[in-house]
Structure 1
């Protein structure tokens, strides 16, 4: 009996040991599986993150939102890359980022500027809800949902005016000539954001301006070209100045139309050059018209891709300034809550194999805009008067001089000479003659400079002249 009892106890111990081992294996296996799915857990520094999170949640003086803390950690992680083009945008910022490339948003269809604390409609998009309701440029938005406008920036106001399709928003409008504001209830609708404009200039020169590369840009470009061709376009002048770039797909689509079939558009080179993708033109119909491209120091990323491809693979003349020099590629991923991770994952080379990052694309013909074109803008809310001094005053003096109102005083000091020049401008523009700079006067100065620049656009005029010469050489 003793022997049997010992065997029984040994069996019991064995099964207990097996059970413990299985539990241990299950725990280890589960942890290994968890680490495999989330490698960050295995990092020693993860303990710091976890401990900080727990301590903040438990002991911070004010209430905290777990998702805000985690998104903040993600923002910090991306910031540690020290890459100006990689970023993490949480929730609403991420949604706005994606929306900016979709070529469409839901809203009422107005652009707004801020002037002396007021939100003034600059333009109304044709056939948008605001247009159908009879809103006009220079109308002032004074109320939202029956209450005074309390937002501080145009970006904040835009968020209030946008929303889901079919929802309503009531705004109060103050209009010149009316003694009281009136209320308008608008139904939000999809609004297209155009990225392409065009015009026909003398000699059959079709000018197509691309301001960025969004989802519908290639489609808009095709429509612009078709309209110009119907009007008898003989040469294409593609204006990519101040184009910050955007999506690669519409850029390639436009290149496919203009660059001969099988010619290289660009080469995308991934980490450690383990993967290289060469994009070649898939042109279906030969392009037979001369092409010139306008660039400046603000032409970046996708606009540089197109400028370099047209220059090296289509023989286009590039006119203007050396481009910005952004030769890296980002891919963005949107998460379930709308947050976005935009991460630099590749570099690109021109068709001739040139790296342009921090170098830019050199123009064939170098032409710069007048100096006043590069003056920094005067921030909204800038108030200057006699006795003021600093860079804003210096900028104002340069702007006035460009418009024919020279202030022969001390640069950077708002003196009597500056006051007289400003008064002369205000008088000629039928503004209140105060001798002080406010938002209304600042806006008018910028308007007049913009009009002047359009008439004195040296790169544009050189582009037209160059294409005319090329057309003359063909005949």
Structure 2
């Protein structure tokens, strides 16, 4: 049955339907744009059109071709780097995995501690029994390549990502020992490497000396375990908490330790977010009262979470702080890990002490300012470098200073390896039952470092002051 009274009525109806469809589509499109703009604010930015156009042009026309993910990872890294915030970063893929693993209870790697020294990656320590030690790597070795990829030009997280990997997989590490040595290549299998962040020892007079190297996932549990060991025979009379050169880490274990030592209900810190839209106050939830006097050791490399704990113990638990002004990192990063392993670590808040002080770029001031002796700041000995009569330079000068500190001076003309320097070396080598060549070599270098560490342990003025303070408080 025809419902239209004429062809003209039929044409009007069709036109109205078409117009309605166009309007409906236009409204839907507008709503979609509005939703996209709210969902992805960068789409509203004029500069985004330039980014999109540049991306399309690179993908379609770049001579050597480009991978979309590589471009987008690079864009994310550049975006965060543009903040010029030393604590915020975007770490793509394996770099992100390496970042998160460093805070876990274990990771899969070779068991070598690595430090950056004059743009070189130097092995600073080895985990006993781990692949790196078994494979013959030594402290002082300079890493030049991992699996054929040059170490030079890579940032620290990139290098970690190359060294670490899946359990049982192999990695080839190339190192040099000294500037004129031939490179050494070692193939190692990755194993589970436990992350230990807390050590302890019982000092004279019943004082427990507990050192926390950084705050990782299991640091709170490790701290509790070490306290138990120290108190298994009889109660402690004092706690000397060593946070020197502790760079910080996770807030959660920091709060766990604060809960053990700070009276219940006392403030630990306030975390203040952008525009004060959120302020989180952490207060102690102590379950068992702690009555033992506390002293805290810090230096200029004590930063972030170690400063949180130091300030909280000082202001809420009456602890005495000894050493040097701390680093002054009073901002908080939150990190988000994406499905591909990439990590965004972003500064999102700042924190203040229980007393309301902001410490960013200021640090925590010790109650007793005590510096380490000058020899504690000497540049590293040139392990892996052969030095003999006729050698000269800063490495020779450092060696001479170490010999003099250990009582084997005078050690010759400053910076020049002369007969007097050789005689001092011979004297040291003879005392240590080493081959008395008068030349500097690896064995002599490691022994010198060991004796210098022992001297610092004996003469450590910060630790001695801590013991003195605790004894004065009844320890």
Instruction: Note closer, same or farther for the CA distance 1:108–1:82 as it changes in structure 2 (3 Å cut).
Output: closer
| Shift of residue 159, structure 1, vs aligned partner | 5.6
Q: Decide whether the 8 Å contact of 1:210 with 1:240 is kept in 2.
A: yes
1:268 and 2:271 are equivalent in the alignment: yes
Report the equivalent of 2:353: 350
Instruction: Note closer, same or farther for the CA distance 1:16–1:39 as it changes in structure 2 (3 Å cut).
Output: same
2:372 & 2:140 partners in 1: Cα distance? 34
Instruction: Note closer, same or farther for the CA distance 1:92–1:23 as it changes in structure 2 (3 Å cut).
Output: same
Report the equivalent of 1:415: 416
1:457 aligned residue (460, 465, 472): 460
Q: Decide whether the 8 Å contact of 2:260 with 2:287 is kept in 1.
A: yes
Instruction: Note closer, same or farther for the CA distance 1:15–1:442 as it changes in structure 2 (3 Å cut).
Output: farther
1:255 aligned residue (251, 255, 258): 258
* Structure 2 unmatched ranges of 5 or more: 174-183
Alignment of 1:45-64 (within 5 A): 45-64=47-66
2:283 aligned residue (255, 280, 285): 280
Give the match's secondary structure for 2:333: strand
Give the match's secondary structure for 2:421: helix
1:402 aligned residue (397, 402, 405): 405
Instruction: Note closer, same or farther for the CA distance 1:222–1:80 as it changes in structure 2 (3 Å cut).
Output: same
Report the equivalent of 2:8: 6
Deviates more, 1:360-369 or 1:35-44: 35-44
1:184 & 1:78 partners in 2: Cα distance? 36
| Shift of residue 110, structure 1, vs aligned partner | 5.8
Alignment of 1:53-202 (within 5 A): 53-107=55-109, 109=111, 123-125=126-128, 150=148, 162-165=164-167, 167=168, 169=170, 189-202=191-204
Deviates more, 1:247-256 or 1:31-40: 31-40
Task: Give per-residue Cα distances to partners, 1:43-92, cap 9 Å, x unaligned.
Answer: 10111211222222233332322212111111111111121111111111
1:42 aligned residue (41, 44, 51): 44
Give the match's secondary structure for 2:280: strand
2:209 aligned residue (207, 214, 225): 207
1:424 and 2:443 are equivalent in the alignment: no
Task: Give per-residue Cα distances to partners, 1:370-425, cap 9 Å, x unaligned.
Answer: 11212344677777774654x65655554444344455535xxx4344x7426733
Q: Decide whether the 8 Å contact of 1:86 with 1:330 is kept in 2.
A: yes
1:318 & 1:120 partners in 2: Cα distance? 32
1:59 & 1:119 partners in 2: Cα distance? 41
| Shift of residue 15, structure 1, vs aligned partner | 1.4
Q: Decide whether the 8 Å contact of 2:147 with 2:172 is kept in 1.
A: no
Report the equivalent of 1:222: 224
Report the equivalent of 2:363: 360
Give the match's secondary structure for 1:230: coil
Alignment of 1:260-339 (within 5 A): 260-339=263-342
Give the match's secondary structure for 1:450: helix
Instruction: Note closer, same or farther for the CA distance 1:382–1:268 as it changes in structure 2 (3 Å cut).
Output: farther
2:280 & 2:123 partners in 1: Cα distance? 48
Give the match's secondary structure for 1:83: coil
Cα RMSD (Å) = 4.0
1:24 & 1:11 partners in 2: Cα distance? 20
2:86 & 2:95 partners in 1: Cα distance? 17
Give the match's secondary structure for 1:221: helix
Deviates more, 1:188-197 or 1:89-98: 188-197
Instruction: Note closer, same or farther for the CA distance 1:406–1:152 as it changes in structure 2 (3 Å cut).
Output: farther
Instruction: Note closer, same or farther for the CA distance 1:242–1:421 as it changes in structure 2 (3 Å cut).
Output: same
Give the match's secondary structure for 2:474: helix
Report the equivalent of 1:373: 376
Task: Give per-residue Cα distances to partners, 1:203-253, cap 9 Å, x unaligned.
Answer: 111100000000000000000001101133221100000000000010011
Q: TM-score, length-normalised on structure 2?
A: 0.82
Report the equivalent of 1:175: none
| Shift of residue 106, structure 1, vs aligned partner | 2.3
| Shift of residue 340, structure 1, vs aligned partner | 0.7
